[in-house]
Amino acid sequence: MTVMPTLTLNDGNTIPQLGFGIWHVPPATTSDTVKSALGLGYRLVDGAFYYSNETEMGEGLRASGVSRDEVFLTSKIWNGDHGAEKARASVERSLKSIGVDTLDLVLIHWPVPSRFLYVETWQALVDMRQAGLTRSIGVSNFNADHLERIIAETGVVPALNQIEVNPTLQQPELRAANEKHGILTQSWTPLGNGRSFDAEPITAAAARAGKSPAQVILRWHLQLGNAVITRSENPARQAENLDVFDFALSDSEMAEIATLDLGLRTGPDPSVFRML
């Protein structure tokens, strides 16, 4: 079984560098999917209320036979639950749905700046951490200005910012802003829906290392120092995504992949996205 490397967050807690996400996994298959992933060696499961499968996420954890203490569980506060009271109710609902007493990480899913509530929501997360509902707190899809504001107004720095990063959307400026504050970057949709699988720097590195394009891209994330969230319902693909710790990309291969950045998103622009 893979020995999963961990990264240390700015609050002193540790997080598995490579995790497993359940976005778009149907509730009917979520339990078996989580059980499979944990059986292969994943030790981080990334969920969210909005995914509508947190109950099944908890079922998969229990069915796996892996101790709760060995698994890092993430949930997120959805856009319609911003504000102190709604945010706390959201986290308590997730705890009940998953069937655990404490989460390892809770994120604000999107800043939704048009609602002017993300600072209040962040302060609510600070209070929930102090109350023991979660061990670490962070954000997702926050731009540099959103980060600056919550830090300035609460004095508390997020442990992690989960953002879209892949070879065609590398976000170097935002990753640098995270690093400036000691915030870990965690990549979602790390493969970019396969848009760069045929790019020459990827195929060349894959041929040289005897790996797939997906494995090369995941290795690229790891060598950038990012934490990464993968997703697949296929056990063979889950295993392939996990098999990225026995090779390394050269400096020249990393530099070549850096040239693939086109600023192309697969998801919404956080500065305007507000779906409730």
Share of the chain above pLDDT 90, in %: 99
**Amino acid at position 87, single letter:** A
> Looking at 42, 50, 51, 118, which residue is catalytic?
51
How many residues in total does the chain contain? Answer: 276
Q: What pLDDT does 3 receive?
A: 79
Round to whole Å and give the CA distance between 87 and 79: 10
Buried b (16+ CB within 10 A) or exposed e, 34-71: bbbbbbbbbbbbbbbbbbebbbbbbbbbebbebeeeeb
In total, how many domains does the chain have? 1
- pLDDT at position 2 over 80: no
Report if residue 82 sits inside a domain: yes
CATH number at residue 40: 3.20.20.100
State the average pLDDT for the chain. 98
Q: Is residue 154 part of a domain?
A: yes
Determine whether 42 is an active site residue: no
DSSP 140-176: ES--HHHHHHHHHHHS---SEEEEE-BTTB--HHHHH
Question: What type of residue is 116?
Answer: F
Quote the CA–CA distance of 71 and 219 in Å, as a whole number: 22
63/228 Cα distance (integer angstroms): 24
Residue 270 lies in a domain: no
Q: Which of 15, 22, 61, 16 is nearest to 38 (CA)?
A: 61
Residues 6+ apart with CB under 8 A from 134: 91, 102, 103, 104, 105, 106, 125, 128
Per-residue pLDDT of 175-234, as tens digits, reads 999 999 999 999 999 999 999 999 999 999 999 999 999 999 999 999 999 999 999 999
The pLDDT tens digits of the residues spanning 118-145 come to 999 999 999 999 999 999 999 999 999 9
Asked whether residue 98 is assigned to any structural domain, the reply reads yes
Domain that holds residue 56: 15-196+227-234
pLDDT exceeds cutoff 80 at 1: no
The pLDDT tens digits for 60-97 are 999 999 999 999 999 999 999 999 999 999 999 999 99
